[in-house]
Amino acid sequence: MTDKNTTRENEYVEIVEYYDNLLTSGYYDFESLAKNLSNLLGARRKVLDIGIGTGLLSKQMLTLADYEIVGVDFSPKMLEIAQKRLANTNIKLICEDITKSLKLPFQPAVLFMR
């Protein structure tokens, strides 16, 4: 029996080399996403980025305000890229599968705003 987290992580290992190219080729408008999130946050500056991936959105958020961001992702390979991208920032990165560590009583959901 294969562990679901291992399978998901391995899928990201296979795409990590071209993940950013895929997401920045018009699939997502990170500038617009960041502005929308900033509007939702208002004066609040503490952000938990669950599924930070390679840090594309969090980096864009920092162009708008001095956010205090903690980024969590289960993929060490994605976090390696995020660490390089966010090296000169105050973003804290954590490698963790929150669906296991928090023993959530529900299935996680993903929200992307267009």
* pLDDT band for position 1 (cuts 50, 70, 90): very low
* pLDDT band for position 110 (cuts 50, 70, 90): low
Class of domain 4-101: alpha beta
Q: Give Cα 59 distance to the centre of its chain.
A: 10
Q: Give Cα 112 distance to the centre of its chain.
A: 11
Domain residue ranges in the chain: 4-101
> For residue 78, which of 25, 5, 20, 1 has the smallest C-alpha distance?
20
Tokens of 52: 């930070």
Whether residue 81 is predicted with pLDDT greater than 80 in this model: the reply is: yes
The amino acid at 6? T
* Phi, psi values for residue 16, rounded to 5°: -55, -30
Q: What is the mean pLDDT of the chain?
A: 83
pLDDT of residue 106: 60
Whether residue 23 is predicted with pLDDT greater than 50 in this model: the reply is: yes
